[in-house]
Amino acid sequence: MTKKTANLVLVGAGRMGSHHAQNIAFTLNNAHLFGIFDQYLPGAKALGEKLGCDFITDKIEDIANHPEVDGVVIAAPARFHASISKYFLEHGKAVFCEKPAGLTLAEIEETSAAADTAKRPYQIGFNRRWDRAFVSAKEKIQQGVIGTPQQLRSLTRDPGPWGGDPFNIPTWTIFYETLIHDFDTLLWLNDNAKVVEVRALADALVRPDAKSHGHLDVATVTLRFDNGAIAIAEANFCAMYGYDVRAEVLGSLGMVQMGDVRKPNMTSYNKDGAQDDTWRVDSDIFVDAYAAQIRAFANAILTGQQTGPNGRDAHRALAISLACIESVTTGNAITTNI
Ligand SMILES: NC(=O)c1ccc[n+]([C@@H]2O[C@H](COP(=O)([O-])OP(=O)(O)OC[C@H]3O[C@@H](n4cnc5c(N)ncnc54)[C@H](O)[C@@H]3O)[C@@H](O)[C@H]2O)c1
């Protein structure tokens, strides 16, 4: 009989991982939360108790060698992503990995090769590709509704006040972990075009006191594509009005816009005017997209057909991040072939 649910194990029971595990346990009908692995066992146990999952471990081999585990959902810190992904692929497990898939191009290449050898799904957590607005916009572009793309933009503004510790965040996080979403979005929206030039400016305007430590919390990037299109990507760690994720493509015949910081369907009015509530948390704004991407991952395991972003997509987005770092470091525009 054909299997109807994929047995998934969460790797990394932190903020993002908890959300994925909750989706697997309660929202998705094609996946089963088989276990939780975290190197910090108490965290994994607490989540397991909440979700009713009792295969909890801090030993990676318990998962890799378990014959009933079909795949893993990795939400550990970025520096571990590539090595953990490769390890599980080499043990024949399908891998969903949060972005970034790795911090060097070489490690993503090695992980992709492991996925090819194992013939197992290897999907990356570029969740905007699963958001309804972004999907509809992409369809319009593909249908030719806006003509030839000329100018694109994608932005990510995290909600303020920003509570991060700038002295504990690696310097290039804004490119590796934040803007990497925007780079993937722009590549995906301007399909079949290559990025031939990258320029980036970045600064510490939210926490200028941490600038000498190497901290960066705002960035603006321009990309030039070989089909003539020009794109802007921008990020800011502290938008006081909410969590703002938007994109736009202007073409020869029209425009598509995606995203809205305002929560839909409710505006309050009084003597001072009109007021909208705004999104504050990624797991609210992307609630459906986060579920959809894991549903697609489970489906890839069950059908053998991967539809979500793969190692090649991760490689391209990271290559832009690395070009940005080079651009900020040298002050130059970087010629690329991405
Ligand atoms: N796609 C998105 O919108 C989105 C949003 C938030 C975070 N993320 C990504 O999710 C990942 C996790 O972020 P977070 O905010 O949940 O972090 P977090 O610090 O809250 O959680 C990380 C968890 O991983 C565990 N861990 C650490 N090293 C491990 C290892 N070697 N093996 C197994 N577990 C390990 C930690 O104990 C912790 O429980 C990051 O890569 C981040 O970029 C993605």
Say what the pLDDT of residue 20 is: 98
Neighbours of 270 (CB within 10 A): 7
Taking CA atoms only, the protein residue closest to ligand 1 atom 20 is 14
Please answer whether residues 317 and 324 qualify as being in contact, where contact means their C-beta atoms are separated by less than 8 angstroms.
Answer: no
269 shares a domain with 218: yes
DSSP per residue, 125-179: --GGGGSHHHHHHHHHHHHTTT-SEEEEEEEEEEESSP---TTSS-TTHIIIIIH
Please state, in angstroms and rounded to a whole number, the distance separating the CA atoms of residues 299 and 293: 10
277 shares a domain with 145: yes
171 shares a domain with 138: yes
Point out the residues of the chain with pLDDT beneath 70: 1
Does 16 map to a domain? yes
Task: Give the Cα-Cα-Cα angle 65, 304, 61 (nearest 5 degrees).
Answer: 10
Say what the pLDDT of residue 84 is: 98
Instruction: Quote the ligand 1 centre to 9 CA distance (angstroms).
Output: 14
Does 1 map to a domain? no
Please state, in angstroms and rounded to a whole number, the distance separating the CA atoms of residues 120 and 139: 28
The pick from 84, 97, 98 for probing ligand 1's pocket by mutation, whose C-beta has the most ligand atoms within 8 angstroms, reads 98
Closest residue by Cα to residue 7 from 98, 76, 53, 70: 70
Ligand 1 pocket by Cβ (under 6 Å): 11-17, 38-40, 43, 75-78, 80, 98-99, 125, 127, 177, 282
Does 31 map to a domain? yes
Range of the domain at 41: 6-126+289-316
240 shares a domain with 188: yes
The β-bridge relationship of strands 94-97 and 122-124 is parallel
122 shares a domain with 138: no
* CATH number of the CATH domain containing 30: 3.40.50.720
The β-bridge relationship of strands 230-239 and 218-225 is antiparallel
Number of domains in the chain: 2
Please state, in angstroms and rounded to a whole number, the distance separating the CA atoms of residues 286 and 298: 18
Say what the pLDDT of residue 3 is: 85
Q: What are 87-107's pLDDT values in tens digits?
A: 999 999 999 999 999 999 999
Say what the pLDDT of residue 1 is: 58
Say what the pLDDT of residue 2 is: 76
Q: What are 250-297's pLDDT values in tens digits?
A: 999 999 999 999 998 899 999 999 999 999 999 999 999 999 999 999
Atom of ligand 1 nearest to the CA of 44: 39
Phi/psi of residue 317, each to 5°?
A: -65, -40
Say what the pLDDT of residue 8 is: 98
Please answer whether residues 184 and 128 qualify as being in contact, where contact means their C-beta atoms are separated by less than 8 angstroms.
Answer: yes
